[in-house]
Structures are given as C-alpha cells and as structure tokens.
A and B are shown apart, each in its own frame.
Chain A
Amino acid sequence: MKNLILFALFAVFSGISNLNAQEAGDQLIGLWEPSNGKARVKVEKIANKYYGKIVWLREPNDPQTGKPKLDKNNSDESMRSVPLKGYRMLKDFVFADGEWSGGTIYDPENGSTYSCAIKAKDGNTLDIRGYVGVKALGRTDVWKRIQVK
C-alpha cells in the first residue's frame, strides 16, 4: 500500500514537472524582433520542436528590383526564388534544461546557417546565440517580444 502511494505521488509529480517544462518551452512562441529592428519573427511549435519565420520586414522590397525581397544569397540557386517574408530562419529547436538548443539560425544577408542556442532573459527578452562549432566562439543578439494587440 505504501509503495502504491509513493508510486502515485511520483507519477503526479513527474506529470506536473513535464507540464511545467512544456509550459516553459512554449514561452518562445510569439512574435520577436531582433536588435537591428529589420525584421519580425514569429515562433511556432510544430510537433515537439520550435520554428521561427519572418513575418514582417522593415524594407520588404528589394531596392534593385522594386519587388518583394527573395532569398538571393542562398547557396542553392534553385531556392533563390523563396521570398524572405515567410522564410523559416529559426529551425528545429528543442527545449531542455532552461534553453532552446539543437537548432539553427539562417542569416539571409549572407546566406549562411549557424548553430544556435536561445535563452530567455525574462518573459519578453531572448539571448539568441549563433555560432559555428563551439558555442563560446559565437555572437549573441538580443531579441524583444512584440506584443500583439
């Protein structure tokens, strides 16, 4: 009987902590703006991973063509017609141990993809660290949450 009670308590406790971890992970969902203010990125959850796509650009049109900006720096020529508005620049993030990791960030300005880790400073501020190989040798940008009215 004692064992059964202990087991039930353990099951309830682990269920609650899983729920809390999920809720903490879902803090990333929403609309965010990088420090340069050039774009806004909407983060959503698909299956168990987090993805972010560009939903707003300060300068949506390419000054050379006057048409919506495309991913013209992509190393794959066949994908250069993908519009930047709607582009998934954050991909495959998993929440564990208080941070979102295992994902990548794409810089459309040079067509490069970097490993990336995300930490929440508070509910409305993120440290987005992009790096190649070693996390210590990366660069951190601060993103602010945009409140949707």
Chain B
Amino acid sequence: MKALLPFCSFLLCFFSACTESQTITFKTAPIPLMASGPLFEGTNTAQGDFSPSIADYLKQQGLALSSLENATLQKVFLTLTDSLNSDLVGEITLQLAADQVDMQKVAVLNPVPAGQTQLTLNVAQEQKKIADLLRQNKMLLVADVNLKKDMESDWQATAVLEFLLTVKK
C-alpha cells in the first residue's frame, strides 16, 4: 500500500501536466452607463449592467463553461456621448459587481483629459474573482464620476471591457 502512494502521486502529476491551458480574449459589446441628471459638483454614480453570456461565447469557441479557469480584465475603453461630458469630469473610477460577487474596483482615470470622448482607463493590477463575475447572469458596472461643476442633463457613456480568459483545452 505504501509503495502505491508514490505511484499514485506520479500519475496525478502526470495527468495534471497533460491538461494544458490556453488564453483567449473576450470583448464585450458597448455597455451603456448613465447617471440621471440633474447632477451636482463632486462624486456621482453612473450605472449600467450587462449579461456576460460567457457560456455562449465559450461554446462558440468549442469550449464548455467548466473549462474557464481564470479571467483578468485587460482593457477598459470608455466613450463619452459628447466632449462636454469629459470637460466636466475630473476623474472616473470603475467597479464591477454582481448579486453573488462582491464589488471590486477595476479601473481608474485621473485626470480625465479635457475635450476627449474616447478614453482608456488604467486597469487594476490586483484583481479577484473576475471569472466568478463573468459566470453570473448579470454583471453590474458602477462608475464614480467626479464632476467639476453641476450638470443639468444626464451623464452618459458606453464602456467596452476586454478580458483575458484562461481555459482548459
């Protein structure tokens, strides 16, 4: 029995080494974000939600949802509806959350360059439970938008998120 133990350990290591992983990119469609006006100077909350449908995406790649091992957020692109929106914004911080997954800060842009409508946010190096978020039916995007002045109208933008998925082959 004792002699069997090293052999079993060897087999376990051998088969786990045989299970190779690969990485694929998953990019969302533009997700609308909105904070309803009138808005006041200081921090305001803009929200949006989307269904990651990660199972469908993996199926298209010939993979099962169970093959998803890990995920990291690689890029966050924000498009503002007009340049006025960016002129009024000091900073933007983006968080992701879901019913069953705690909120986490994933990206920031400080300062927001004036007059630009296409923004690329700086993504957090430390990320947790991104794969869990993608497995949810609905993911919530929460943007904290720091306004330099009061704003009569709504603040609107769209966000595109790019994830790097690690999947078992």
Which residues in A have some Cβ–Cβ distance to B below 8 Å?
44, 46-49, 51, 53, 55, 70, 75-79, 81-83, 85-86, 88, 91-92, 104
Query: Are B105's CB and A47's CB within 8 A?
Result: no
Can you list 22 contacts pairing A with B, beta carbon distance less than 8 Å?
Answer: A44-B45, A47-B97, A48-B99, A53-B144, A76-B124, A76-B125, A76-B126, A78-B122, A78-B125, A78-B126, A79-B108, A79-B124, A79-B125, A81-B110, A83-B91, A83-B110, A86-B93, A86-B144, A88-B95, A91-B102, A92-B103, A104-B102
Across-interface contacts of B160 in A (CB, < 8 A):
none
Partner of A55, one of B43, B97, B125: B43
Q: Could you mark each residue 115-139 of chain B with 1 if its beta carbon is under 8 Å from any beta carbon of chain A, else 0?
A: 0000000111110000000000000
Query: Are A82's CB and B42's CB within 8 A?
Result: no
Chain A residue, CB-CB nearest to B109: A81
What separation, in Å, do the CA atoms of A53 and B99 have in the docked complex? 19
Across-interface contacts of B157 in A (CB, < 8 A):
none
Query: Are B122's CB and A81's CB within 8 A?
Result: yes
What separation, in Å, do the CA atoms of A70 and B99 have in the docked complex? 29
B88 beta carbon closer than 8 Å to chain A: no
Across-interface contacts of A85 in B (CB, < 8 A):
42-43, 146
> Min CB distance, B143 to chain A, in Å?
11
